[in-house]
Structure 1
């Protein structure tokens, strides 16, 4: 059993690494082509059909890039398609979702204090929400609303806000943020797989056959590419959020997720504007910073964290606090079944992150993490499997804030 647990943990690590590698490849190529497209310039004397060109320097050489709005007079024998980066990112991400959240559904996916369902039902809800998300999005893009990029983006944002709230009513906070990322990333990959690449293949086939391609194919692909452009940064945040309980494990987590989408759009707007040589809208960074401060405040309502405590100097104060006996009982009863030299919780064979909470000194040394993960946020225990109460969480907060 221990050997299997070790192998499974390494499997999760390996797939996570693969997911990061493929995501870097996808995002890198996407950002490059967006910047290239926006930076193209028109000049007299360009070949027929060329909409713009750009000179670039990299790696000791110069590149002369030209873009044909439709196609050159003669199609080249070989075309490089940028699609596998997207597909591999989604496939590896879904594999990681299955390894971590589906296989460990009772611990990471389902919180019966949020929605009292079995693990299989939770997994079915997860799969259904991901699939229905793409169907709804695709129908909206093809509806009359899709004729206006602005109106469509506002409607899509309203849907993302609704999903931010909805997922927190279904799963653990950690799983809610992760699923919002998967929901959005699935739309992005489906855009590539079902719209952008098929449309481009039709255009290439028409050109080779001497037919005139339908303009709507290019317009449709461009619209989906625009959406992918603005959704990328929020997805990256959501995928990283599972390491930061102050984001996903707090009362206003769905509001935080909603604001993150706006911050991502602001940052992309800055880079898109700069690459298009239309100015440098520094205000976007200022507004993004203000919104991030609001996110930080929302994560700790009604009090705001004032910074790290130097535990090496404060350890004795935490242990000497009048609240410590009650805190010790809470930690021993709610946390130590996993955070022990020999965990007693089924399926846990080693203390998570090697955090052991089986002595007074250990509890005092981990005061800040206990405060953040089980007091200020609901990240721990995962899915509240040990049934920690709100009163006990308030006790942990009071203990830390008074003793520091």
Structure 2
């Protein structure tokens, strides 16, 4: 019953997290698109203080959107603030982190072959990393480095690569991936809470007082714009990490941290194409390069195929040996009714109760257990490299 209720809790929190993330990222994409499509307004609008405008059609109606240089002559009674989408995404994401990784299945997070961690130790490392990177980012964005966009981006990317590498030294691959995503998400929400919203409040305060924004307000506004730009480039990498837990070929790779770094660079670079396109600049070469880099990554990650010339030299593995191996290391989870307390149903719907079922899922088992060594989760059963090789040899025999 505990695992059943835990699954429902995870499902509900994950559902809410995805909804909140869609709302936040959708709003972010829209406002970046909006800013990049504003055009110079006619003189009569300029006299009202309007900086740019655009016309759009959606939902059966035509919309006129205007952006003021500072604000209207009279502040509207109802002014919509976009902040709770970000806050609810972080809150639900942290709840999911605790429910699934810290207090859920320990195999998702802890790999004793890397570091034998207690739950408290894992929480301390995870939360400490989130807070530490956020503080470093805040120091950088308030420094002169923020005036050089390319240099700042390079430094931030280097920091995230280091974080990715460090997480893979202490956590299992899946847990490492999700913590890098949590770091990126925390930076994005901090941008909203510590920069964008305070800048907006300062601007509204100046307008309500009927005074020109002072230098401090202008500086806050400039940094808020920069923070918004950073968030825009971080959206695709963080979305990728959100869905990556379904693909152990990524986080189960021997160099999973480098895979994550490569994907982060590729997705952020691809986002640059759309940001330029919104400004009327079309550079398809960016997408071409992104596609080539993706194909190169797929090729580099591909598992090595066994050498047919050496197949004859591999001792044949008996069915009885493999049956015992699977019973020992796989069937606690991959059974019609799993004995593992964290599962109510076999993961991914894969049941390995018989050798025939093992043959049916030979590709998935080879990838997860032999090629990436992701399974068993956290290697809680203590499967050895020799046993993995025997299983791999049997699976090749079964082809």
TM-score by length of 1: 0.90
Corresponding position: 1:369 with 2:361: no
Supply the distance in 1 between the matched residues of 2:42 and 2:249 (Cα, whole angstroms).
55
Corresponding position: 1:178 with 2:196: no
Shift of 1:287: 1.3
Shift of 1:117: 2.0
Corresponding position: 1:216 with 2:211: no
Corresponding position: 1:274 with 2:277: yes
Q: Secondary structure at the residue paired with 1:185?
A: helix
Change in CA separation of 1:347 and 1:31 when aligned onto 2, cut-off 3 Å: closer
Supply the distance in 1 between the matched residues of 2:275 and 2:388 (Cα, whole angstroms).
44
Corresponding position: 1:72 with 2:72: yes
Instruction: Tell me the alpha carbon deviations over residues 65-109 of structure 1, each in whole angstroms, 9 at most, x when there is no partner.
Output: 111122222222221111111111111111111110011262221
Q: Kindly indicate whether the alpha-carbon contact (under 8 Å) linking 2:101 and 2:108 is maintained by their aligned counterparts in 1.
A: yes
Supply the distance in 2 between the matched residues of 1:265 and 1:324 (Cα, whole angstroms).
49
Tell me which residue corresponds to 1:299: 301
Q: Which runs of 4+ in 1 moved over 6 A?
A: none
Tell me which residue corresponds to 1:254: 257
- Farther off after superposition, 43-52 or 357-366: 43-52
Instruction: Tell me the alpha carbon deviations over residues 16-57 of structure 1, each in whole angstroms, 9 at most, x when there is no partner.
Output: 111111111111111011011001111441333322111111
Shift of 1:358: 2.2
Q: Secondary structure at the residue paired with 1:216?
A: helix
Corresponding position: 1:240 with 2:243: yes
Instruction: Tell me the alpha carbon deviations over residues 343-401 of structure 1, each in whole angstroms, 9 at most, x when there is no partner.
Output: 34344454334422222112112211111111121221111111122233333444444
Change in CA separation of 1:347 and 1:39 when aligned onto 2, cut-off 3 Å: closer
Tell me which residue corresponds to 1:265: 268
Tell me which residue corresponds to 1:149: 149
Tell me which residue corresponds to 1:311: none
Shift of 1:120: 1.6
Supply the distance in 2 between the matched residues of 1:356 and 1:226 (Cα, whole angstroms).
46
Supply the distance in 2 between the matched residues of 1:248 and 1:112 (Cα, whole angstroms).
16
**Aligned ranges 1:60-139 → 2 under 5 Å:** 60-104=60-104, 106-139=106-139
Supply the distance in 2 between the matched residues of 1:44 and 1:333 (Cα, whole angstroms).
75
- Equivalent position to 2:230, from 227, 230, 234: 227
In the alignment of these two chains, the number of paired residues is 385
- Equivalent position to 1:386, from 370, 381, 390: 381
- Equivalent position to 2:39, from 29, 38, 41: 41
Q: Kindly indicate whether the alpha-carbon contact (under 8 Å) linking 1:133 and 1:183 is maintained by their aligned counterparts in 2.
A: yes
Q: Secondary structure at the residue paired with 1:169?
A: helix
Tell me which residue corresponds to 1:19: 17
Tell me which residue corresponds to 2:311: none
**Unaligned residue ranges in structure 1 (runs of 5+):** 305-320
Q: Kindly indicate whether the alpha-carbon contact (under 8 Å) linking 1:39 and 1:276 is maintained by their aligned counterparts in 2.
A: yes
Tell me which residue corresponds to 1:318: none
Change in CA separation of 1:294 and 1:272 when aligned onto 2, cut-off 3 Å: same
**Unaligned residue ranges in structure 2 (runs of 5+):** 307-314
Change in CA separation of 1:261 and 1:103 when aligned onto 2, cut-off 3 Å: same
Supply the distance in 2 between the matched residues of 1:302 and 1:361 (Cα, whole angstroms).
25
Tell me which residue corresponds to 2:328: 333
Supply the distance in 2 between the matched residues of 1:351 and 1:58 (Cα, whole angstroms).
45
TM-score by length of 2: 0.91
Change in CA separation of 1:324 and 1:229 when aligned onto 2, cut-off 3 Å: farther
Q: How large is the Cα RMSD of the aligned pairs? A: 1.9
